[in-house]
Amino acid sequence: MTNSTHFGYQTVAEEEKVHKVAEVFHSVAAKYDVMNDFMSAGLHRVWKAFTIAQAGIRPGFKVLDIAGGTGDLAKAFAKQAGPTGEVWLTDINESMLRVGRDRLLNKGLVTPTSLCDAEKLPFPDNYFDRVSVAFGLRNMTHKDVALAEMRRVLKPGGKLLVLEFSKVWEPLKKPYDIYSFSVLPWLGKRVANDADSYRYLAESIRMHPDQETLKAMMQEAGLERVQYFNLTAGVAALHTGIKL
């Protein structure tokens, strides 16, 4: 029997979700960066800067960026880890990974890239000093499996950073809903000629576990000292955890 899951507000078979998520990111890849700036009025840069600061990358670190897409985090990590470091840009989606790889190369950053599923990471146990995933976990079918994989590839003492949309502060919920379900698809249509992908974005954010639930999931996956930081009143949250 096929298991079902969510794709935004729709209930779909698990395999169908994987295809639908792939379609979304093939469709948005070329306009992804410009849309991010439009949609968040540049705020995603602030959230990522906070994540980069919390990562505390040092020269020589081995770092894995999962669902890395167009490479914002990997780019910063590669600069900080320097020539003795090893920073992997990975993603399940070829279109997104291509944009990311080319962007890094254009900046003179030659980093290894891998087309891979976060639920089956092609890396050995206890390998990385840091593992990050920004705005990717929401799209994964088996989040528990992906989190366990992230923990597996971390070295003891290594840190996982999960940046994701989260549950907004209650008084802001109404205006945020109006923005998400009216303005976002309109912007998606105007800028990327793709309203559906941005409707999926709004729905998938609503379906994603809230701050406390994700914290519990990370603890369940075996991470310790799990904590989170609300960003912009909970529009996004950064969760961190350590593998002991």
Ligand X SMILES: C[S@@+](CC[C@H](N)C(=O)[O-])C[C@H]1O[C@@H](n2cnc3c(N)ncnc32)[C@H](O)[C@@H]1O
Q: Which residues lie below 8 Å from residue 85, measured CB to CB, with a gap of 6+? A: 57, 59, 60, 61, 62, 63, 77, 78
Q: Indicate whether 128 belongs to the interface with ligand X (CB under 6 A).
A: no
What's the CA gap between 218 and 159, in Å, rounded? 12
Which segment (7-15, 85-93, 102-110, 123-131) binds ligand X by CB under 6 A?
Answer: 85-93
- Contact of 145 with 66, CB cutoff 8 Å: no
Burial class (CB in 10 A: 0-12, 13-18, 19+), 211: middle
Q: Indicate whether 149 belongs to the interface with ligand X (CB under 6 A).
A: no
Q: Indicate whether 104 belongs to the interface with ligand X (CB under 6 A).
A: no
Q: Indicate whether 140 belongs to the interface with ligand X (CB under 6 A).
A: yes
> CB-hemisphere CA count at 13 Å for 176?
19
Q: Indicate whether 69 belongs to the interface with ligand X (CB under 6 A).
A: yes
Please count the residues of this chain forming the interface with ligand X, following the rule CB under 6 A.
20
Single residue of 61, 88, 128, 135 touching ligand X by CB under 6 A: 135
Q: Indicate whether 72 belongs to the interface with ligand X (CB under 6 A).
A: yes
What's the CA gap between 191 and 209, in Å, rounded? 29
CB of 244 to ligand X, least distance (A): 25
Which residues lie near ligand X (CB under 6 A)?
A: 21, 25, 66-70, 72, 91-93, 96, 117-119, 134-136, 139-140
